[in-house]
Amino acid sequence: MFKQKKNTLQIWEICGWNLCVTVKISTPFSHPRTEAIPVFIKEHLRPAMEAENSLVLVALDDEKVAGYSYSLIIGTSNLEDRAKYGCIHDLFITETHRRKGLGDKMVSEIVKWFRLNDIHRVELDILAQNQVASSFWKKQGFADFKHTLYRLL
């Protein structure tokens, strides 16, 4: 348990079809296309909650969502020259809970889960312009691996 002032902040693993929690997850996180949130929950988050190769964590502060993460284990592929590895797909912290150690705590739980599953490499993607995220992940021990370029047509 992580204490912040008088409020109690807890991190929970979410399993199964807990619709109540998934609806609460979508509420505090802004998305440029709000209509995409139910699709994301239905097509990605719900299946992840039931899959053995994924971990969904929710941080609650007095029953309000303070953050969430979605991580998964990706198996080996004939197209890629590497063994199975971990992927931190999402880690979001609400603005009011940023820079208070919650991200560190969630990453610690994610890394613990990867280690329990014999994962020795973890990858994630961040937006090139997001210097705050870049700084956070480098502080967590992550280093540059590849750069993805794009072009609009």
Confidence at 30, pLDDT banded by 50, 70, 90:
very low
Number of domains in the chain: 1
Nearest-5° Cα angle at 87, 32 to 114 = 135
Quote the pTM value.
Answer: 0.74
Give the C-alpha separation, 49 to 90, whole Å. Answer: 14
State the CATH number of the domain containing residue 22: 3.40.630.30
Q: Is 6 helix (H, G, I), strand (E, B) or coil?
A: coil
Q: Is 108 helix (H, G, I), strand (E, B) or coil?
A: helix
Q: What is the pLDDT of residue 103?
A: 94
Provide the residue range defining the domain that includes 105: 2-139
In a domain, 148, yes or no: no
Checking if the pLDDT of 19 tops 60, the result is no
pLDDT tens profile 61-104: 877 888 888 899 998 766 566 789 999 998 999 888 899 999 99
Confidence at 51, pLDDT banded by 50, 70, 90:
confident
> How many other CB atoms are found less than 10 A from the CB of residue 35?
7
In a domain, 146, yes or no: no
In a domain, 85, yes or no: yes
